[in-house]
Structure 1
Amino acid sequence: MAGNAHDGSNPPPKPPAMHVEGTGIPSNTDKIHDGDAALALFDNLADMHDTFEPAEEKKLIRKIDLMILPFLAIDKTTLSYAAIFGIEEDLNLSGDEYSWLSSVFYFGFLFWSLPTNLLMQRFPVGKYLGINIFLWGFFLMLQAAAKNFTQLAVLRVISGAAEACSDPAFMLITSMWYTRREQPIRIGLWYTANGFGIAIGGLLGYGIGQIKGSLPSWKYEFLIIGAFCCTWGILLFIFLPDSPVTAPQLSDREKRLAVERLRDNQTGIENKNLKPRQILEAILDWKVWVFFLLGFSGNIPNGGISNFGTIIIHGFGFSTLVTSLMQIPYGAFISVMILVAVFVNDRLPRNSRCIVAIVFLLPNLAGSFGLHYLPSSNQVGRLICYYLTGSYNASFVIILSILTGNIAGHTKKVITNAMIFLGVCAGNISGPFFYKSSQAPGYSLGIWSMIVANFVEIALIVVLGLGLAWENRRRDRAQGISPGDEADYTRELELDRSAFSDLTDKENLNFRYLY
């Protein structure tokens, strides 16, 4: 471990208080006031350097993966399938009303996004997530009883509020358990649920289409998926650990190791105290607003494609049931692209994430241009182009990993997670309205909205990468660090103090950004 680098018989004097911007921390190593929850595992910071073998860490990582990742693999894509199974006809929905049903879900999400992230900081995250997933499934089942647009719209708003904590909670949990290098792959693994959800939803939709019961097929869609989510929420509440510090599945040594190995993240584990200064810093931080805009531009395409994708395929001339089955390759493609992106990123040099995010937007652009310019008679070509639009999911996963790796301070983390998903909501609300019913099934305006949004997203990623690289160089100059310098004993102690002091990335000059 790094803390064993000093070989002298007498330890060197303790360094002065570390360099931070806006906040100092005490120079003693006994206690840090209002620090991270991880400090409860250690009597003092010098205890952070217990030696352990790489094999022991690998075994722990496998255990953590089994404890965490299966519970985060859940997707919730229902309205798109309900559309092709008759919900529009049964409830007499106009084209604009269907667009509104796609959007009002995100009004609930938008309204509750910030409060739910703040509540997530106050309550055990595993329990809070489980309750919300259960409520999401419950209100989804109620949608099967809706008799008109108004009733369905109200239930969609409430469902959106219940779902508002899911992806931010997944990101928070990922940052609590994994190193910054490990985070992209883990985010990619749980985000592949979006692709598998579409693929399995296609099979499920086909199966539901075969049901010859007393209810319309779209009602079975809501009831079956809603019941599954309720069950999943109960399992989350019971089995998903809230923190490495309190996880009942880990021994005391495993808890210490789980925390120790995250020291170099400099982002901490958890702090239950809401800190107004971190809220203010988040609001004034240019990076947070770039993440908001990335959420917005990246989800204008998603807002349209996720709700109108089956309708676009149906417009190619396929039957309702075949249309459902044709979503299976689309979901599989999304999952493959996400996995390829995160594994390629893992094998590239440290600061390659922005480049990877841009590269995986290019197939989406190619598919969008193809959907616009290929003639309607070229069904195979247009179907392939539609599948290519799924690559934006891989890019967004990399963007999420840039966020989790670059924001420190627990309150600032929950605010930033809320901000990017406020952007996600705004994009998903806006996206469907570019798909005019008068332009069906080609939706030329909707396709152009995807193209423009992707170019804006690429520009934002470039700005983010250049800005983070510049800030790293500035901090190196301020601390007199040259590239490739080995950390000395004094710097190691500074890193110990800052790792779990619940400092923000701006306050902690030891923090280095990933891009």
Structure 2
Amino acid sequence: MTTPSQIDQKAANASNLDTEKAELEQVEDALSRTPYQPEEPRPNGILNWLQKSNPSPQFLADVARMNETQLDPRKVKHVERKIDLLIMPALAICYMFYYVDKTTLSYAAIFNLKADLHLGSSDYSWLSSLFYFGWLGWALPTNLLMQKFPLNKYLAFNIFLWGILLMAQAASRNFTELAVLRVLSGAAEATADPAFVLITGTWYTRTQQPTRIGYWYLANGFGIALGGLFGYGIGHIKGSLPSWKYEFLIIGALCSAWAIFMAIFIPDSPYFSHWFTPEERLIIVSRKRSDQNSTDTREWKPAQVLEAFKDPKTYLFFLFGFTANVPNVRLSTFCSGISVSSIFGFDTFQTTLMQIPYGMVIVAFILAAIFINAKLPPGYRTLLMAVTNVPTVVGFAMVAWCKGTAPRLAGFWLTGASNATFVLGLSLLSGNVGGQSKKAIASAAVFLGVAIGNIVGPFLFKTSEAPIYYTGVVGCLVSRALEIVVILVLRVIFIVGNRRKDRAMAEGRAQYDERYIELEDITDWKNPAFRYIT
């Protein structure tokens, strides 16, 4: 015999089924509406027409409804495979060109650039630093523009400029002409790193971001290896031009060609991509429902900008970028033929080939870091960053104080471990800052630090100290040690922030609607559901 309580339970179950059926019908109805339109008509004017489109209210409402349902793991996996095949190779090739482009000057120097342009003793160091003066001047504006314009198209435009400016450097007749082009090249390349991080954050969850950043950052190591092969091969060209001119012309042409491919084939966002069905677009966004990283919009919010300048994390991100890149001189001045030939006793072509094992060391450290990070439980990422930086400190100590070529060369290769640290650090930038405007300021802070570090670094290597360059090597060691301190301070801030929010929730001082809060453009300070990755 059926009891009244059983009748009530059956009625409740039927009601739940009806509700779930209605929700599924809403989602299915949403999927049948395509394409999604921008939030509002764009104003007249070419610059306004070029600006990115916000996701429509219709799209956000459909995502909110999908957030109330359980996603099919098979569909999610299928969508993520498509993203990997589309986004990862594009970013990896871009990053390879990005590295090779930056270091073309050092390979050109091996093939008599200095003699042909009559560069003085300090001119080469200035050319290395002037690149980052251009970067420094454009780091903040380019981060602001990335919020206004379609991200991939803006990146492709800048990559095209890299190539054009690089080819123009082949026509340089003196220090002044080359210096001007180096400044402009640095400005164009200021877009690269922050754009790669933003693209990764757009398409991947916070859990996936360290691994995916690691994948495209691996191209840094392959770029070093391929740069050495390019330098070796181009150096053997017996044409009518000096070998260093071919370095600029060939690498620049390849960059510009790849930029055109990027602009045509790689989507700017999940909201309007023709590579994905309407359902897949919703899944891409809905699977990030727990990330609390907000929706991509083109509006600037002054309150978020002000909060960014109040947040100590912004200044620590700057210091992270700075301390991580003062030692970057090892690849510009220290690692150029001018320095390495004298330090390790290599000839011109041996110097270019020496980059191949160094690049492979970088690849090995990055793969190890992202594998270990994926296996560790939550709460250990910043500790792993600190640990991966220790071999770099040891490596610079070996270069400074070991005797003999072999141990010093081994120490130099060991410094490649720092690339793994930077990969994990970039994932903190993409995952631990909420609010689009605030994230743009935080990103600018990191890469302002990168630029200033690269400006300072070359001047630590005094020509009077050749071939040991003691001040430069010890300066790199100290910078890397300070980077570990910065990482640990960030860890403390993240942990304290999470505990404060947990306490507010436990005491009932914070409430939120899970369906909608992750779709709002609010900062990590203002979002009660936001938790920092530690």
Normalising by structure 2, we get a TM-score of 0.86
Residue 498 (structure 1) aligned with residue 517 (structure 2): yes
Q: 1:38 deviation in Å?
A: 7.2
Residue number in structure 1 paired with 2:361: 333
CA distances 1:149-196 after superposition (whole Å, capped 9, x unpaired): 110000000001111111101111111110001000111111111111
CA contact (8 A) 2:232 2:349 kept: yes
Aligned length: 479
Cα offsets for 1:27-85 (capped at 9, x unmatched)? xxxxxx99973754243533433443212111111100111111112233311211211
Alignment partner, residue 18 of structure 1: none
Amino acid at match of 1:43: A
For residues 297 and 326 of structure 1, the distance between their equivalents in structure 2, rounded to whole angstroms, comes to 25
* CA-based RMSD: 2.1
1:43 aligns with 2:61: yes
Instruction: Answer yes or no: is the 8 Å Cα contact 1:36–1:502 preserved in 2.
Output: no
Q: 2:454 aligns with which of 422, 428, 438?
A: 428
Q: For 1:445 and 1:223, how far apart are their aligned partners in 2?
A: 35
CA contact (8 A) 2:329 2:335 kept: no
C-alpha spacing 1:7/1:262, structure 2 compared with 1 (3 Å): farther
What amino acid sits opposite 1:174 in the alignment?
A: T
Work out the CA distance in 2 between the residues paired with 1:369 and 1:271. Answer: 46
- Partner of 1:495: helix, strand, or coil? coil
CA distance in structure 1 between the aligned counterparts of 2:115 and 2:182, rounded to whole angstroms: 18
Contact 1:300 1:428 survives alignment (8 Å):
yes
Partner of 1:508: 527
* Structure 1 residues 108-154: Cα deviation after superposition (integer angstroms, max 9, x where no partner): 11101111111111110111100000001100000010011110000
Deviations 1:70-101 (A, max 9, x none): 11122333112112111111112123111110
Measure, in 2, the Cα distance between the counterparts of 1:246 and 1:81.
42
Query: Quick check: 1:67 aligned with 2:94?
Result: no
Give the CA deviation at 1:8. 9.4
Separation of aligned partners in 1, 2:13 and 2:441: 43
For the Cα contact (< 8 Å) 2:294–2:521, is it kept in 1? yes
- One-letter amino acid matched to 2:55: A
- Which one-letter code corresponds to 1:358 in the other structure? A
The DSSP-based 3-state class of the residue aligned with 2:515 is helix
1:374 aligns with 2:402: yes
Take 1:266 and 1:219, find their aligned partners in 2: how far apart are those partners?
49
8 Å CA contact retained: 1:304, 1:446: no
Aligned to 1:313: 340
Alpha-carbon separation, structure 1, partners of 2:187 and 2:431:
26
Name which one, 1 or 2, has greater alpha-carbon Rg. Answer: 2
Residue 501 of structure 1: CA displacement?
Answer: 0.5
Residue 174 of structure 1: aligned partner: 200
| C-alpha distance in structure 1 between counterparts of 2:72 and 2:400, whole Å | 56
Post-superposition shift, 1:331? 0.9
Kindly indicate whether the alpha-carbon contact (under 8 Å) linking 2:66 and 2:282 is maintained by their aligned counterparts in 1: no
Give CA deviations for 1:364-415 in whole Å, capped at 9, x if unaligned.
111100111112xx11111111111111111011111111110111111111
- Out of 345, 361, 367, the position equivalent to 2:389 is 361
Please name the residue that 1:100 is paired with. 126
- Counterpart of 1:158 in structure 2 is 184
C-alpha contact (below 8 Å) 1:79/1:307 kept by paired residues? no
Q: After superposition, what is the alpha-carbon deviation per residue over 1:468-501, rounded to whole angstroms, capped at 9, x for unaligned?
A: 101101110110089xxxxxxx97x722221011
- Name the residue aligned to 2:22: none
- Which whole-Å deviations, capped at 9, do the CAs of 1:423-448 have from their partners, x for residues lacking one? 00000000000011111221111101
SS of residue paired to 2:521:
coil
- The one-letter code of the counterpart of 1:313 is V
1:129 maps to what in 2? 155
Pairing of 1:205-216 with structure 2 (within 5 A): 205-216=231-242
Correspondence for 1:465 = 491
What is the aligned counterpart of 1:455 among 476, 481, 502? 481
The answer to whether the 8 A contact 1:110-1:422 is kept is yes
Q: Is contact 2:66–2:286 with CA below 8 Å preserved after alignment?
A: no
Distance 1:55 1:446 in 2: 53
Q: Distance in 2 between matches of 1:330 and 1:234?
A: 31
**Kept after mapping to 2: 8 A contact 1:36/1:500:** no
Question: Which secondary structure does the structure 2 equivalent of 1:361 belong to?
Answer: helix
Does 2:371 align with 1:343? yes
* Deviation, structure 1 residue 305: 3.5
The whole-number CA distance in structure 2 between the counterparts of 1:326 and 1:403 is: 33
Instruction: Tell whether 2:198 aligns with 1:183.
Output: no
Structure 1: which 5+ runs fail to align? 1-5, 12-32, 483-489
1:16-35 correspondence runs (5 A): none
Instruction: Percent identity, please.
Output: 49
1:254-302 per-residue CA deviation (whole Å, 9 max, x = no partner) reads: 0000000011110023011111111111111111110001000110001
Q: Which residue identity is paired with 2:395? A: G
